[in-house]
Structure 1
Amino acid sequence: MIRLLYITHRVPYPCDKGERIRCTNILRALSNHACVDLISLADEFVHPEARSFLLRYAQNFYVVPIGRLSKYLRMIFALCSGRSLSERAFAVPSAKQLVRTLLDKNRYDVVLLSSSAIFPLVADLPRQVRLIADIMDVDSRKWRAYAHGSFWFRPLYLRESTLVGRLERSIVNRAHAVIVTTLKELEYLPSGSSYKLAVGNGVDCGFFAPRTWPSECLARLAFLGTLDYWPNIDAISRFVNAIWPHVRKSLPQATFNIAGRRPSTHVLRLAQAPGVNLYRDVPDVRPILDQCGLAVFPLKLVFGIPNKVLEAMAMARLCIIPPEIASIIGGQAGVHYLVANTAEEWLHHILEAQSNPVTADRIGQNARNFVAECYSWDIQLRRLIEFILIRQAQLQVAQYV
């Protein structure tokens, strides 16, 4: 078996957030084919069950505390340097020293990163060790989009976009392979010498299994997502202000149920609107989805694969999504989900669903079947595992030719 060092910018447990879920499933898949050592940086409380869970798949597990307060201080000092806030947040000397110690002690065939921000930890990695960077999304594009949506923080966001873009160019010229979550993200990667690969996210349809059908609760709408994430805040704000009053006027009993971690002050204010319910920091979103017939995701800014959409589809909810998400996940409008762009289209689909329960159930079932066929973790991670194993076999053969 090959030896692999996996470095993650978060402890991949509990599986309560997209990046953690992705890292956990990658680790699980790798453990079937490689001897894996795991290093995880942590700026928050580490769950007491994390070590025992992760050691099921990793031979060794190392946690490097980066300190939440000291992280913010490093980010402030980054403003006086030519480094991005993102990379300075994880620039902990003890982490780099641990990486060097393990590299000196073990002959790793591959080093895998979970984020562009931790690339400086391995920037001086020996060339004979294959470096694979799973950066997930092209973050420079994300920061640029944030800048266009902000007035007060625009200079800061533009600075971050420029510096993260420089970091991404360094990665594509140093890493043997760079991985992102979608084909669309591949288009935004800078040119470079590395191999580029799209490896999507998946969903566990056994875990996300419905107990109700959409027709049983069509007047209850759900939105899922991290609630201090600006694209989600923007989506909730536009929906509550521009669409929800018209829904309530035609459907007074309707409720809009927002579930997610760390709600911002703005989301807390929006949750005061009539018929809006906020479920904050819930450990399991399945009971909420089971109580809602529709799942709405009115995002304008979409980066990578929206995991919560896949989870709602796996739960056979009638999902209404914007064209930006539809173009990423595939499938067919009217068969696997409904697509809305304008406020009028959102309102039409929500109200139309109330009088078409059979159609809602049919689309919900189609959605679940689609996710099961196309978005299982085994299917999504197959390309990554095959790439690592085949490339390693090619290198081993080349040594004897």
Structure 2
Amino acid sequence: MRSFNLMKQLAIYHDVNVVCVVQESVVKNYFPSLEEAIEKATPAFLSFCQSVSFVSIRSQRRYEKKANLIKSLFSTKSYAASRLENKVTRDAIKKAVMNVKPDVIHLDTVAAGVYLPLFEDIDLVLNHHNIESEMMLRRAREASNFLLKTICYLDGFKIRMLEKKLFSKVKNHLVCSDLDKMRFLSLFQGANIFVVPNGIDCTLPSIDRSPVHGKLLFIGGLDWYPNSDAMRFFLKSVWPDLNKIMPEVTLDIVGKCPPSDLIEIASAYTNVKLHGFVDDISGFYKEAWIYICPIMDGGGTKLKVLDAMANGVLLVAHPIAMEGIDAVPDEHFKLADSAHEFVAAISAIKNTTANQIKSIEHAAKTLIQEKYDYEKIGKVLSSAYL
């Protein structure tokens, strides 16, 4: 959603042409077929873009993913960059560049750097959703499996090398927070970096909230390891103790592609519901008493956190989940740094007055409207393309 909304705001100030690289396996989590997805996406893009084209990357079978992962160990390119690099995508990008003759090209991932030779003498802007090399290196440090640790270290190093190459070639870089800017500048001094935070479309109608006491909520794609790891931690380390103190609590976990082990863990509890992908999540926000975000990995800023705050749901979150967001503990959300603190924070809210809860929810919602409204973000964004 960050990319779509940034493009939408950018189109207010500039003519935008889009080349979308899509994976059929990812699209099928949301649509019955790739064709239907493109049919619905095209008019949405053309409502603000000059043109849009789609390039499909063939879905890999499980054995192909493993084979390509092993192959990437002997390549100078990261796994993600190797996955993106193919003749069909190269030809589509080359054709778009020839037809549009752009003044500026926006790259939406570091992995797109494999196509740098196609962009000679054209200014580039690179959007960093997070610090990809740091995420992979952090995963390596925390991995207990030796093979996974080795793979992550090698991939993190390769991503870092590509980031270094891009910092010397790209005119402007977009990051999600001042924290990410500081981290990038510590690695690549002298880069032109614009802080363009994740945001919320504040023009959408607000939800008429009717919170149900004890109803906890988490929303996030469960094929993204920081999300699935967060839910494993919560169900294994927080949920048993929380149930002893508050047997009335329930937990709704909403997100596509839950891994099999998470399904098994959740199935052990009658008061935990794993919903998978849901088209309309407004009903969950309407009834949620607390939104939990025990994410302990990842970069950028968490859209799920902004969504919860914008919808006026009281948030209990880990410090890493709040990185890059100008929110103050106890004023805008409740902070929890461990399993014990999550249990303590949630159980304490039971004894918090309704007015105190509403005060925190209102302050959080106001913060989003003042600092994270996409219309305001768009004005900052536009200057990076001049």
From 88, 92, 106, give the equivalent of 2:86.
Answer: 92
Paired position in structure 1 for 2:101: 107
Match of 2:30 in 1: none
| Displacement after TM superposition at 1:331 (Å) | 2.1
Q: Does 1:324 align with 2:320?
A: yes
Question: Could you tell me whether the CA contact under 8 Å between 1:78 and 1:88 is conserved in 2?
Answer: yes
**C-alpha displacement of 1:364:** 1.3
How far the C-alpha of 1:75 sits from its partner, in A, is 4.9
Superposed, 1:2-401 pairs within 5 Å as 21-44=1-24, 45=27, 46=34, 47=37, 48-69=39-60, 72=65, 75-127=69-121, 129-150=122-143, 151=145, 152-189=147-184, 190-191=187-188, 194-207=191-204, 209-213=206-210, 216-274=211-269, 275-356=271-352, 357-388=354-385, 392=386
Q: Secondary structure at the match of 1:39?
A: strand
Q: Could you say what secondary structure the match of 2:278 adopts?
A: coil
Structure 2 contact 106–124 (Cα < 8 Å) conserved: yes
Partner residue, 1:9: none
Secondary structure, counterpart of 2:93 in structure 1: helix
- Stretches of structure 1 that go unaligned for 5 or more consecutive residues are 1-20, 393-401
Cα-to-partner distance string for 1:23-70 (whole Å, 9 max, x where unaligned): 111221122222221101111143121111111121111111111128
Question: Aligned residue for 1:13?
Answer: none
Q: Matched residue of 2:193: which SS?
A: strand
Distance 1:138 1:123, change over 3 A: farther
SS of the residue 2:128 aligns to? strand
Task: Tell me the distance in 2 between the aligned counterparts of 1:266 and 1:358.
Answer: 40
TM-score normalized with structure 1 length: 0.86
Matched to 1:209, the amino acid is S
Could you say what secondary structure the match of 2:167 adopts? helix
> Quick check: 103-112 or 139-148, which moved more?
103-112
Quote the Cα distance in structure 1 between the aligned partners of 2:373 and 2:292: 22
CA distance in 2: counterparts of 1:250 and 1:103, whole angstroms: 61
Amino acid at match of 1:122: L
What is the TM-score when the length of structure 2 is the normalising length? 0.89
Structure 1 CA distance, aligned partners of 2:197 and 2:18?
21
Quote how far apart the aligned CAs of 1:220 are: 0.5
Unaligned runs of 5+ in 2: 28-33
What SS does the corresponding residue of 1:102 show, helix, strand or coil?
helix
Counterpart contact for 1:200–1:381, Cα < 8 Å: no
Instruction: Indicate conservation of the 8 Å contact 1:42/1:66, yes or no.
Output: yes
Q: What is the CA–CA distance in structure 1 between the aligned matches of 2:189 and 2:91, rounded to whole Å?
A: 28
Letter in 2 for 1:66: I
Between the aligned partners of 1:323 and 1:136, the Cα distance in structure 2 is 18
1:86 is displaced (CA, Å) by 0.8
Q: Larger relative CO (CA 8 A, sep 6+): 1 or 2? A: 2
Report the CA distance shift for 1:264/1:105 in structure 2 as closer, same or farther (over 3 A). Answer: same
Partners of 1:56 and 1:206 lie apart in 2 by 17
- Would you say the 8 A contact 1:239–1:298 is kept in 2? yes
The CA deviation string for residues 168-202 of structure 1, in whole angstroms up to 9 with x for no partner, is: 00110101111121122223323155411221110
Kept in 2, the 8 Å contact 1:75–1:86? The answer is no
Tell me the alpha carbon deviations over residues 195-224 of structure 1, each in whole angstroms, 9 at most, x when there is no partner: 1122111012343623215xx423001111
Distance verdict in 2 for CA 1:365–1:193, change over 3 Å:
closer
User: Does the 8 A contact of 1:174 with 1:194 survive in 2?
Assistant: no
| Counterpart for residue 398 of structure 1 | none
Moved more, 160-169 or 237-246: 237-246
Once the two structures are superposed, residues 257-287 of structure 1 have per-residue CA deviations (whole angstroms, 9 ceiling, x without a partner) of 1111111112212211321111111112221
User: What is the CA–CA distance in structure 1 between the aligned matches of 2:204 and 2:15, rounded to whole Å?
Assistant: 27
CA distance in 2, matches of 1:206, 1:255: 31
Contact 1:186 1:196 in 2 (8 A): yes
CA contact (8 A) 2:301 2:323 kept: no
Amino acid across the alignment from 1:179: L
Q: Tell me how large the CA RMSD over aligned residues is.
A: 1.9
Q: Classify the secondary structure of the residue corresponding to 2:188.
A: coil
Comparing 225-234 with 189-198, which one deviates more in the overlay? 189-198
1:78 offset after TM fit, Å? 2.7
Change (3 A) 1:205 1:30: closer
**Hey, what's the Cα distance between the residues in 2 that align with 1:318 and 1:287?**
16
Partner of 2:31: none
Q: Is the 1:208–1:314 contact (alpha carbons within 8 Å) kept by the matching residues of 2?
A: no
Task: Quote the Cα distance in structure 2 between the aligned partners of 1:318 and 1:354.
Answer: 12
Change (3 A) 1:192 1:120: farther
